[in-house]
Amino acid sequence: MAEPDVAVVGEDTVSQPSTRQISLRINNVAHSLRIENRVSLLDALREYLGLTGAKKGCNQGACGACTVLVDGERTLACLTLAVQCEGSEITTIEGLAEDGTLHPMQAAFVEHDGFQCGYCTPGQICSAVGMIREFQRGLPSAVTADVSASLVELSDEEIKERMSGNLCRGGAYVGICEAIREAFQAEVAR
Model pLDDT for residues 34-93, shown as the tens digit of each residue: 999 999 999 999 999 999 999 999 999 999 999 999 999 999 999 999 999 999 999 999
* pTM listed for this prediction: 0.89
Long-range contacts of 22-25 (CB under 8 A, 24+ apart): 22/82, 22/83, 22/86, 23/86, 24/82, 24/85, 24/86, 24/88, 24/90, 25/88, 25/89, 25/90
- State residue 149's pLDDT score: 77
Contact between 44 and 81 (Cβ < 8 Å): no
Helix (H, G, I), strand (E, B) or coil at 24: strand
- State residue 1's pLDDT score: 47
For residue 175, pLDDT over 70 is answered with yes
Residue burial 159-174, b: 16+ Cβ < 10 Å; e: rest: beebbebbbbeeebbe
- State residue 189's pLDDT score: 81
Indicate whether 138 and 81 sit together in one domain: no
Indicate whether 108 and 183 sit together in one domain: yes
Q: Is residue 172 part of a domain?
A: yes
Q: How many residues are there in the chain? A: 190
Q: Is residue 11 part of a domain?
A: no
Contact between 15 and 5 (Cβ < 8 Å): yes
For 6, 9, 19, 88, the CA distances from 2, given in Å and listed in that order, are 12, 21, 11, 25
- State residue 187's pLDDT score: 85
Q: Is residue 150 very low, low, confident or very high in pLDDT (cuts 50, 70, 90)?
A: confident
For residue 5, pLDDT over 60 is answered with no
Contact between 109 and 124 (Cβ < 8 Å): yes
Domain C-terminal end among 45, 69, 95 = 95
Q: Is residue 14 part of a domain?
A: no
Q: Is residue 12 part of a domain?
A: no
Q: Is residue 12 very low, low, confident or very high in pLDDT (cuts 50, 70, 90)?
A: low
**Which domain range does residue 56 map to?**
23-95
Indicate whether 110 and 182 sit together in one domain: yes
Indicate whether 46 and 115 sit together in one domain: no
Distance CA 20, CA 33 (A): 8
Q: Is residue 2 part of a domain?
A: no
- State residue 11's pLDDT score: 62
Split into its structural domains, the chain has a count of: 2
Indicate whether 111 and 83 sit together in one domain: no
Q: Is residue 126 very low, low, confident or very high in pLDDT (cuts 50, 70, 90)?
A: very high
